[in-house]
Chain A
Amino acid sequence: DSGVTQTPKHLITATGQRVTLRCSPRSGDLSVYWYQQSLDQGLQFLIQYYNGEERAKGNILERFSAQQFPDLHSELNLSSLELGDSALYFCASSAGVFGSPLHFGNGTRLTVT
């Protein structure tokens, strides 16, 4: 058990809809990362937060947004969903210090129909 909790585990929704994925980091970890894993794109970094502030941005679409709350949990919002957004979305957390491993949640499997 990595200590990172992601909900929900599975999500099925229709094109054009909006969903929110939730992540609770490991106790004590200040940094949260979101990744998207699809068959054609592999494991792609989306965005990182550190103690409530955005720290790094990757290949995140404008339709997607995220935030980290004062209690350090994070949410990833996906809107105007398209079929191509179907993927496994991971949240990971770390201490945010150089050399700290990322600890991943079990992911949210999003299916857009």
Chain B
Amino acid sequence: AQKITQTQPGMFVQEKEAVTLDCTYDTSDPSYGLFWYKQPSSGEMIFLIYQGSYDQQNATEGRYSLNFQKARKSANLVISASQLGDSAMYFCAPSPQSNTGKLIFGQGTTLQVKP
């Protein structure tokens, strides 16, 4: 079974600082994608960023970027210039190409941004 590890159950960051949320995964599939989602306290699941395992460059999307280390099976989310609205739960989800498209999520990391 696919294993996803988000080792930081809870994190704090000062407003305007950068923060890194860790994610490691275990897949034997050579081709896969890696998704990150945000779940604010209101409950909705918001897609943030995607990285393909064969992409040459790390994905970026506005203030979000991925520190993707394929050999280590690690895809850490970096949020730059944190804002109060970034306070939320963050989930990573690897998606092997053989997986029909469904996502299996990690346990998540709760991020709180302090003013």
Contact = CB atoms under 8 A, between A and B. Distances in A.
B57 to A, nearest CB: 15
Contact of A101 (B43, B50, B91): B50
A97 interface: yes
A48 B105 contact: no
A16 interface: no
B100 interface: yes
Q: How large is the interface on B (under 10, 10 to 19, 20 to 34, 35 or more residues)?
A: 20 to 34
Interface residues of A, number: 27
Interface of A: 2, 31, 33, 42-43, 45, 48, 50, 55-56, 58, 88, 90, 92, 94, 96-104, 106-107, 109
Given A98-B95, A99-B50, 15 more contacts: A2-B46, A31-B101, A33-B101, A45-B104, A48-B100, A48-B101, A50-B101, A56-B102, A94-B101, A99-B52, A101-B35, A102-B47, A102-B101, A103-B47, A104-B44
Interface of B: 31, 33, 35, 37, 43-47, 50, 52, 91, 95, 97, 99-105, 107-108
